[in-house]
Amino acid sequence: MMRTRPLKVALLGCGVVGSEVVRIMTTHADDLAARIGAPVELAGIAVRRPGRVRAGVDPSLVTTDAAGLASRPDIDVVVEVIGGIEPARALITSAFEHGASVVTANKALLAEDGSTLHETAEKHGGDLFFEAAVAAAIPLVRPLRESLAGDKVNRVLGIVNGTTNFILDRMDSSGAGYSEALDEATALGYAEADPTADVEGFDAAAKAAILAGIAFHTRVRLDDVHREGLTDVTAADIASAKRMGCTVKLLAICERAADGRSVTARVHPAMIPLSHPLASVREAYNAVFVESDAAGQLMFYGPGAGGAPTASAVLGDLVAACRNKLNGARGPGESAYAQLPVSPMGEVVTRYHISLDVADKPGVLAQVATIFAEHGVSIDTVRQQGKDGDAWLVVVTHRAPDAALSATVEALRRLDTVRGVASIMRVEGE
Amino acid sequence: MMRTRPLKVALLGCGVVGSEVVRIMTTHADDLAARIGAPVELAGIAVRRPGRVRAGVDPSLVTTDAAGLASRPDIDVVVEVIGGIEPARALITSAFEHGASVVTANKALLAEDGSTLHETAEKHGGDLFFEAAVAAAIPLVRPLRESLAGDKVNRVLGIVNGTTNFILDRMDSSGAGYSEALDEATALGYAEADPTADVEGFDAAAKAAILAGIAFHTRVRLDDVHREGLTDVTAADIASAKRMGCTVKLLAICERAADGRSVTARVHPAMIPLSHPLASVREAYNAVFVESDAAGQLMFYGPGAGGAPTASAVLGDLVAACRNKLNGARGPGESAYAQLPVSPMGEVVTRYHISLDVADKPGVLAQVATIFAEHGVSIDTVRQQGKDGDAWLVVVTHRAPDAALSATVEALRRLDTVRGVASIMRVEGE
């Protein structure tokens, strides 16, 4: 039954992920052939610096001419693991134009310009698969695009960045400050030399945009995602969370509004109760909750980064793209028919935990409570702490629009009796 | 772009799951049409007793002629939610023969005769989808068949039966005995009037057969699965587990042998450490770990039963089957190329927790230890307890083949100084 002409694959990029793709394609060649229905051949590997290619990679396949490789008319599937916007975008576009399907792990590009890529794929009849772009090997893209295609997803809530989870986990377990935990993450290889994309939340925000897009059948771009990193999270915030029976996680949250007419997507640190399953996600692991009308609450958990796990996701997509090439079929394309508006952060309904440094004199609580009432924000609990003439008020609100909550905080800052706002953090997962 | 002729769906069975399928197809018709690319029409519903069809189901669609409906040449997709072997098998076969694709939730039939169904589907060019057959809406079949298609799965370990998990959870939390916990499960609707399929492990074993088959690309039938139910689990077993820092769960375990040349599949109660994520799966929830070479350890969690969650899985498959019908494509068929032998339980490597009622006199431990040594079973820990002239030995072994472990237990039973074997349970998840 098996045809003899092999399917040809071009690999763009051969770093941590790419070299694992090569390894698996080589060692598991027979299994891949049996699962696809035809042998699959690595026809070329484009890299910037051929001298740096790892051992085990056939040097005769290596080229620096990525554009030439991506546009070869005999290539069936192009695997893009370069990352970043350019030249990845131009190479993927060229691959589609020359008749190939594309498997990519490029979250930044998908969040920036996914719709254009989907349109190009559609126009030329190719597949665009990207399971590896979100949470590495944890199946999320395929379950959202296919398994839940008959359901209505209302919420996606998860830890989708391993670096920041490692940092927060260390801060929680050792009481370390942010800088110290980041240094440890860097030393252990969990954080890159320039950690900006992770710690400022750009990486998680790109994943949130991709997840929101497929969950809500709506185009969501990186710019639509409210983003706060964890560089301002202090040891005091973590200690505050502990006193509340919570821990702090950097969460990606995509929600359909209660009336169903709009959606939101955001990434920020938040307190979650220790009883929530996400609270026990340690080190660099990822976990994502998906809530939908019929299926209820599903959770997906696993390693969210790393060469081998990301390569596993790439290979799964590669098998699917090859099967489709062989059968003249196409996988699901972009589904953005719902076109729901993406609301700004101010309209997100959430809860705040606010820690205030206040003057220790009568009437302060009344003043503070009045500010909350004036902004229509209802208080859940207040805890007063006095220490050496100073006093602290720790307030946890009920659910309210983020705009009202942040306006409340601004008004509190202007009160004479409030010396400072020591900590503000949203509370989620309840 | 949308074509006007609708895709026609026949529903076989309209019980708890079927009526949810009808509800979602009706209320989400516009979304389904947008996601498929064509409207989808419920063309007929076959039931045994038309008088019992729930409110909201259009009576003009209802028929008692299931065979006639399944063989209608205008039907694109047949959804089978009757369950059991016949008439489901004949109806599905007829559906394929008349050109339809099939979506089924029928774990018993797939575990009994899945290969024949796959062959029939292949012969007539139809799709056979069955996500709903394992753990309801939790995506497991599609991730194993597609997301991990480029990886090598070594182990699937999970809680795949909600009824038995509810019973064990109650026994653990309240100290209740099995009968009492079963009564509570029945009263709350978690157990059926005849609970045999659940409590004897048949349901979990069917799911284990399906999961092992797709994980290992090998045909695995219900008869290949070693099966022990939980009817013999006592309150004393649960208490013993607690003393070890464990809890008892009914586990489905599919493993590739260390040498990679054979596989095993089994369902039995086992102690797992409280620190294992499966230990915290409460009530009727399901959770499954999948371990593979490249992806590492993934976990999938959610409601494993119920009308709406099962219907969510059915609808996801229905969308996929309809898309394929529309595009003249087919999803992945059976993948059983590896044809690995399924080894018997005796070859499974596991650990035993054994509780012995022994005579309280010198030399007993030496006798017992000799029996273990004679069978090549190494002891991890022994705890001696004396009470009113009686004595207890609680032994936890190191890993050994199940045949050696069970032969050890038989030899212990024959010792004069051993009055009885109070409890034997495997220890997993370490």
A337 inside 8 A of chain B by CB: yes
| Chain A hits for B149, Cβ within 8 Å | 35, 315-316, 319-320
Q: Which domain holds residue B97?
A: 7-136+307-327
Asked if residue A337 belongs to a domain, the reply is no
Q: What is the pLDDT along chain B (430 residues), one digit of tens a residue?
A: 455 689 999 999 999 999 999 999 999 999 999 999 999 999 999 999 988 888 778 999 999 999 999 999 999 999 999 999 999 999 999 999 999 999 999 999 999 999 999 999 999 999 999 999 999 999 999 999 999 999 999 999 999 999 999 999 999 999 999 999 999 999 998 999 999 999 999 999 999 999 999 999 999 999 999 999 999 999 999 999 998 899 999 999 999 999 999 999 999 999 999 988 899 899 999 999 999 999 999 999 999 889 999 999 999 999 999 999 998 889 988 999 999 999 999 999 999 999 999 988 888 999 999 999 999 999 999 998 876 667 889 999 999 999 999 999 999 999 999 999 988 999 998 7
Sheet containing B128-129, strands listed edge to edge, beginning at the edge strand earlier in sequence: B62-63, B40-46, B7-12, B77-80, B101-104, B128-129
Residues 6+ apart with CB under 8 A from B74: B8, B43
Q: Is the pLDDT of residue A2 over 60?
A: no
Q: What per-residue confidence (pLDDT) applies to B3?
A: 58
Q: Are B97 and B222 in a shared domain? A: no
Q: Are A125 and A19 in a shared domain? A: yes
Asked if residue A332 belongs to a domain, the reply is no
Q: What per-residue confidence (pLDDT) applies to B95?
A: 98
Residue B242 annotated to the active site: no
Q: Note the Cα A196 to chain centre separation in Å.
A: 15
Asked if residue A389 belongs to a domain, the reply is yes
- The reply to whether residue A294 touches residue B303, judged by beta carbons under 8 angstroms, is no
Considering only the beta carbons, identify the residue of A24, A146, A151 that sits closest to B150.
A24
Q: Are A15 and A38 in a shared domain? A: yes
Considering only the beta carbons, identify the residue of A139, A149, A294 that sits closest to B147.
A139
Q: Are A317 and A350 in a shared domain? A: no
Query: Binding-site residues of B, please?
Result: 12-19, 107, 192
| Chain A hits for B215, Cβ within 8 Å | none
- Residues composing chain B: 430
Asked if residue A29 belongs to a domain, the reply is yes
Q: Helix axis angle, B29-36 relative to B307-327, nearest 10°? A: 40
- How many domains, in total, are found in chain A? 3
Mutation target among B2, B103, B123, B151 for the A interface, most CBs of A within 10 A: B151
Asked if residue B243 belongs to a domain, the reply is yes
A109 inside 8 A of chain B by CB: no
Q: Is the pLDDT of residue A430 over 90?
A: no
Measured in degrees and rounded to the nearest 5, phi and psi for residue B306 equal 105, 150
- The reply to whether residue B313 touches residue A147, judged by beta carbons under 8 angstroms, is yes
How confident is residue A50, by pLDDT bands cut at 50, 70 and 90? confident
Asked if residue B219 belongs to a domain, the reply is yes
Q: What are the tokens at B205?
A: 């074993």
Q: Are B147 and B272 in a shared domain? A: yes
A260-293 residue pLDDT tens = 999 999 999 999 999 888 998 999 999 999 999 9
What residues of A act catalytically? 207
Q: Are B289 and B181 in a shared domain? A: yes
**Cβ neighbours around B328 below 10 Å, total:** 10
Give the H/E segment covering residue B175: none
| Chain A hits for B103, Cβ within 8 Å | none
Q: Compute the Cα dihedral for B204, B206, B211, B216 and give only its sign.
A: positive
Q: Are A174 and A298 in a shared domain? A: yes
B297 inside 8 A of chain A by CB: yes
Q: Are B296 and B419 in a shared domain? A: no
Q: What per-residue confidence (pLDDT) applies to A361?
A: 82
Q: What per-residue confidence (pLDDT) applies to B5?
A: 84
B145 inside 8 A of chain A by CB: no
- Residues composing chain A: 430
Q: Are B147 and B131 in a shared domain? A: no
- The reply to whether residue A329 touches residue B324, judged by beta carbons under 8 angstroms, is yes
Q: Exposed, middle or buried: residue B194 (CB in 10 Å: 0-12, 13-18, 19+)? A: exposed
Mutation target among A28, A79, A300, A312 for the B interface, most CBs of B within 10 A: A312
- Portion 26-55 of B in contact with A at CB < 8 A: 28, 31-32, 34-35
Q: What per-residue confidence (pLDDT) applies to B53?
A: 80
- The reply to whether residue B308 touches residue A293, judged by beta carbons under 8 angstroms, is yes
| Chain B hits for A297, Cβ within 8 Å | 302-303
Q: What per-residue confidence (pLDDT) applies to B179?
A: 95
Q: Which domain CATH number covers A60?
A: 3.40.50.720
Q: Are B413 and B391 in a shared domain? A: yes
Asked if residue A336 belongs to a domain, the reply is no
How many angstroms separate the CA atoms of B262 and A347, rounded? 56
Q: What per-residue confidence (pLDDT) applies to A4?
A: 66
Backbone conformation region of residue B136, classed left if phi is above 0, alpha if psi is from -120 to 50, else beta: left
Q: What per-residue confidence (pLDDT) applies to B361?
A: 82
* β pairing state of B349-359 and B296-303: unpaired
To 10 degrees, the CA torsion angle through A26, A29, A30, A35? 150
Q: Are B238 and B176 in a shared domain? A: yes
- The reply to whether residue B294 touches residue A311, judged by beta carbons under 8 angstroms, is yes
Query: Binding-site residues of B for L-homoserine, please?
Result: 192
Q: Are B369 and B229 in a shared domain? A: no
Instruction: Give yes or no for a contact between B102 and B126, defined as CB atoms under 8 angstroms apart.
Output: yes
Range with the poorest average pLDDT among A144-153, A202-211, A414-423: A414-423
Q: Which domain CATH number covers A185?
A: 3.30.360.10
* β pairing state of A390-397 and A349-359: antiparallel
How confident is residue A124, by pLDDT bands cut at 50, 70 and 90? very high
- The reply to whether residue B295 touches residue A302, judged by beta carbons under 8 angstroms, is yes
Q: Which domain CATH number covers A394?
A: 3.30.70.260
Q: What per-residue confidence (pLDDT) applies to A52?
A: 80
Alpha-carbon distances of A386 from A360, A393, B58, B218, rounded to whole Å? 7, 9, 67, 68
A277 inside 8 A of chain B by CB: yes
How far apart are the CA of B177 and the nearest CA of chain A, in angstroms? Answer: 27
Considering only the beta carbons, identify the residue of B24, B146, B323 that sits closest to A294.
B24
Q: 3-state class of A133 per DSSP?
A: helix
Q: What are the tokens at B102?
A: 């099939």
Query: Binding-site residues of A, please?
Result: 12-19, 107, 192
Asked if residue B1 belongs to a domain, the reply is no
How far apart are the CA of A302 and the nearest CA of chain B, in angstroms? Answer: 4
- Portion 202-241 of B in contact with A at CB < 8 A: 217
Query: Binding-site residues of A for NADP(+), please?
Result: 12-19
